Amino acid sequence: MPPNLTKPDSGFTSKQSPLCTFVSLIFLLIIGFYTLHYPPGNPKKVLLFQQIFLSSASNSTIASYLRSLTSHPHLAGTKPSLETIHYVKTHFQNLGLETHTVPFQTLLSYPVHASVLMHFGNGTVLNLPLNEMGIPSYPSSGLIQPYHAFSPSGTVHGKVVFANHGREDDYRTLGLMGVNVNGCIVVIRKGGGLSRGAVVKIAEKKGALGVLMYAEGDVSKGSFGSGVERGTVMEGVGDPLTPGWGADEDGERLKLEDKKVLQRFPGIPSLPLPFESAQLILDSLGGPLAPQEWRDSGRSNLSHVGSGLVMVNFTYQGEKKLATIYNVVAVIRGLEEPDCYVLMGNHRDAWTYGAVDPNSGTATLLDIARRYALLMRKGWNPRRTIIFCSWDAEEFGMIGSTEWVEQNLVNLGAKAVAYLNVDCAVQGPGFFAGATPQLDNLILKVTKKVQDQDSEVVATIYEKWKTMNGNNIQRLSGVDSDFAPFLQHAGVPSVDIYYGRDFPVYHTAFDSFNWMINNADPFFWRHVAVAGVWGLLGLHLADDPVLPFDYLSYAKQLQEYKDAYSRVLDGNISLTPLAASIQEFTSAAKQANEETKKLMEQEFTNDLLALKIRALNDGLMLAERGFLDTDGIKGREWFKHLIYGPRSNYESGLEFFPGISDAMAESKNMSQKDGHAAIKHEIWRVARAIQRAAAALKGELV
C-alpha cells in the first residue's frame, strides 16, 4: 500500500506512518531550499510541487468527504441540498480560498403523484410498485419517488407494446411484424445509446400515448433490490425559461406556455419502472414473438412484443416550479497571468444519495483543493488563476453550469484556458478519458506519472489503460455532463475523466456510500488515482509557461473525420473546401509547435520573451473558439461548436461535424439538388470554422 493510502475505518480518520512523516519533513526542507535557490516558475521547482501534490494523497480523507456528502439525499432545489452547499462552501473557506455562491432562479420539476395499474380481462386490477424495493425507510429517508423530470402530467389508458430500446430501427422492426404503437403505451428498456428525452420524442412521433422505461442492470448483489433509474427528459441544456442568458432572480424570463419553452418538453408522459414491475407487464404481452436478438440481449423473460388482453392505466402528476439553485465557486489567483483561467468542475446535486454520481467527483475535487492549499502553504502560487466550480442542478439538464457560462460568456471567451470536468469520478474499474484533441498528449503525459492501484504489479495508469483500450481518448460530442456548455457553447478546450462505466446503481436509491465501499472502490484508491490525474492536469495548465496544447493532434483528428465522410458521401459532393481548411490548420499547428520549442529553449527570461510567450498562448487558447459558429447547429442553435455537438440523426455513427451529419439525414426527404446543396452548405460552414481556428492559432489577421 503506497504512503498515505490507508484502508478507511469506521471513523475515516487519516493515518500516516512514521516513514510518511519523515518523508513529509524532508519535503519541507527541500521546498525551503528550492524557494531560496530557484526563482518562481523554475521548472525544477514546478516539478517538486507536482511531486508534493502526488505524495500528499490520502484515501481516508476522500472517504470522509464522500461519507459526509452522501449522508442524505440532496436533489437540487430542495431543502436538504442546502446542507451540501454549505458543506462544500465551508470546505473551500476553511482552506483560505476566495469563495462565493452564485444563485440562479430556474425552472425545475418534481413529482406529485404517479401510478401504473394493470387491468386484467377477468376484472382484477394490479397496482404496480414504482419505488425501489428493499428500502423499508423510503418515505422517512428523504428520497423522492422515481420520476422523469419535466415529463408532462397526464393519465393514459391503453394496450402495451414492447419497443426494445425505442430506436427508429426498433419501430421499423415492429412495423415489419405488423405491430403499430399508435394509441398504445410503449415499454422501453434502457440501452441503444439514446437519451431519455430522445426515446420519448421518438415514441411521441410514432403516436404512443406514454412511455414506461426500465433498466435491466443487475443491482441485486448483497442486500440491494431493484433500482429505478431517475432522469430528465428535457431537450437541450440550461434553464428553459432563460435560453441564452443567465437566470438571475430579477431577470427576464419566458412564460411557461411560450412556444420556445414548450418545445423543450415532450408531449406525452413517461415514468421509470422497477425491473420487477416491468417484467409483470412484459409477461402479460401477446401478439407476435419478439425477435431473437431482443430476447437474447437482456435479462427480461421476454416472449411477445404485444399487445395482449391486459390494459395499463398510467398516471403521472408533476409540478414545474421556480427554485433557487447555487453554484459554489472558489478561486486561487494566478501570480503572473491572473486573467487566464483554468477551471476545474463537478456537479454536486444528486437524484438520491449520489455516492458515485456525482459526489465521488465532488469528494475528489475537495481533496484536490486541500492539496493545492497545502502547496500554497509551502510557497506555491500558480502562474494562472485556478477556479474550482461546484455546479448545481446538473441532473435536470446541466442547468447550473449552463447559466454560469451564459452569464460569464464574454470573460470565458477571452480568458478561459481549459475546463477540466469530473462527474462520476469512480464507477468501477478501468480508466477512461474524453477530451478535445489538443489536450491528448497532456493527458497521456500525466497518466504516466500516476500509479494505477488496480494493477497486480506496479504500473502507471497509462500502462494499465494501454492494455485495456490502447489509451483511447473519447471525444466530447454528447451532452453528457457539465463540459457541454463550456465546449459546445463557449468553445473552451475541455477534458472529462473517470474510472469505470455503466455502473448498475446509476440514478437509483442504491447509489450510496455503502455501495461505493462494497463495490466500486472499497479502499478509495481509484479516487486517489483520479485526483492525481485531475490535479496534475490542473497544475500543468496553470503553471506551464507555454500552454501544453498540441494542435497537430487536432489536425490529425480532423483529417480522419474528413476521410470518414468521404467514404459515405455521394461522389458528386466535394470535400475540397474541408480538405483545404484542414491543410491550412495543420500548417498553423506545425508553426505553433515550432514556436513553442524555440521559446522553451531560451534560458533567460526577459520582457520580450514574456510577450512572445503570451502571444503564443493567446493563439493556443483561442483556437478552439474558432470552431464556433454564431448561427449554431441547425435546429439546436444554442450549440455553436461545428466539430463536436449533439446531432438529430441518432442512427448515424458519425459523432463529429453534427451539421453535416444532420444535413445528410434531412437530404433523404429532399430532391437530390436541394439535398446536395444543404450538405455542401454545411461542409462550407465547417471549412470556414476550421479556417477561423487556424487564423486564431497563428494570431494573425487574414
DSSP character at residue 10: T
Other residues' Cβ atoms within 10 Å of the Cβ of residue 485: 28
Count CB-CB contacts under 10 A for residue 440. Answer: 21
What cell was used for 298?
Answer: 437482456
Report how far residue 315's alpha carbon sits from residue 320's, in angstroms, rounded to the nearest whole number: 16
Closest CA to 585 of 562, 543, 554: 554
The residue written with cell numbers 453550469 in the block is 401
Copy the grid coordinates of residue 157. Answer: 389508458
Angle between helix axes 359-377 and 43-55 (nearest 10 degrees) is 130
3-state secondary structure of 379: coil
Report residue 67 as a C-alpha cell. 461519507
What residues are annotated to the active site?
394
Helix (H) or strand (E) holding 578: helix 576-600
The answer to whether 426 and 527 are in contact (CB under 8 A) is yes
Tell me the residue ranges of DSSP E strands in 193-289.
210-214, 231-232, 270-273
Q: Where are the beta strands (DSSP E) in 383-488?
A: 384-391, 416-421, 431-435, 473-474
Neighbour-count burial for 318-347, b at 16+ CB within 10 Å, e otherwise: bebeebebbbbbbbbebeebeebbbbbbbb
The span from the CA of 632 to the CA of 258, in Å, is 22
Planar angle of CA 209, 211, 217, nearest 5 degrees: 165
What does the alpha-carbon distance between residue 452 and residue 459 come to, in Å, rounded to a whole number? 6
Return contacts of 606-614, CB within 8 angstroms, 24+ apart.
613/545, 613/546, 614/337
Packing angle between helix 18-37 and helix 43-55, nearest 10 degrees? 160
Cβ atoms within 10 A of the Cβ of 451, count? 20
How far apart are alpha carbons 7 and 179 in whole angstroms? 56
